[in-house]
Amino acid sequence: MRVLVQRVSSARVTVDGATVGEISPAGQGLLALVGITHTDDAALAAKMAEKLWRLRILDDEVAAADVGAPILVVSQFTLYANTVKGRRPSWNAAAPRPVAEPLVDAFADALRGLGALVQTGTFGAHMQVELVNDGPVTVLLEL
């Protein structure tokens, strides 16, 4: 599992012109782009959620858990692109939908269980993600 986290002052994901998830510009939040590979499981999703929730990357080195910062979770299979050979990425390391979708949901649910205000994109949809990266701060989480 890979989670690319961006500290944002606002973020929004739309599908077919309709907003499906949003962090309003009322302070800082986190945009979490989540990639799943074949060996991931629900226990790892829970550990990764805990790591993100307590990660001290907001202003004054506080975590989302400290200030109740909102989190926008968006599935992103392209985090597992293999670009070693040629010019066309391979997606073989990305888990297929029947594996990945429940684990992205488990990750979001684990965050909610920790007390996070979570919005999500739409798994498998063609999404447009808009964000204002604050800092900029971008961190890749892997366990």
Query: In this structure, are residues 136 and 5 in contact, taking their beta carbons and an 8 Å threshold?
Result: no
pTM summary value? 0.96
Domains and CATH numbers, the chain: 2-137 (3.50.80.10)
Report the candidate in 49, 107, 100 with the shortest Cα–Cα distance to residue 78.
100
pLDDT value of residue 22: 96
Return mean pLDDT, the chain.
Answer: 97
Number of neighbours of residue 67 by Cβ within 10 angstroms: 13
- pLDDT band at residue 6 using 50, 70 and 90 as cut-offs: very high
Catalytic, out of 37, 77, 107, 119:
77
Active site residue 37: no
Catalytic, out of 19, 39, 78, 128:
78
Helical (H) or strand (E) element with 27: none
Give 19's strand partners: 14
pLDDT value of residue 90: 96
Count the helices and strands in the chain (H runs, E runs).
3, 6
Catalytic, out of 6, 28, 37, 76:
76
Active site residue 77: yes
pLDDT value of residue 25: 72
Alpha helices in the chain (DSSP H): 42-54, 64-67, 97-114
- DSSP conformation class of 87: S
Active site residue 138: no
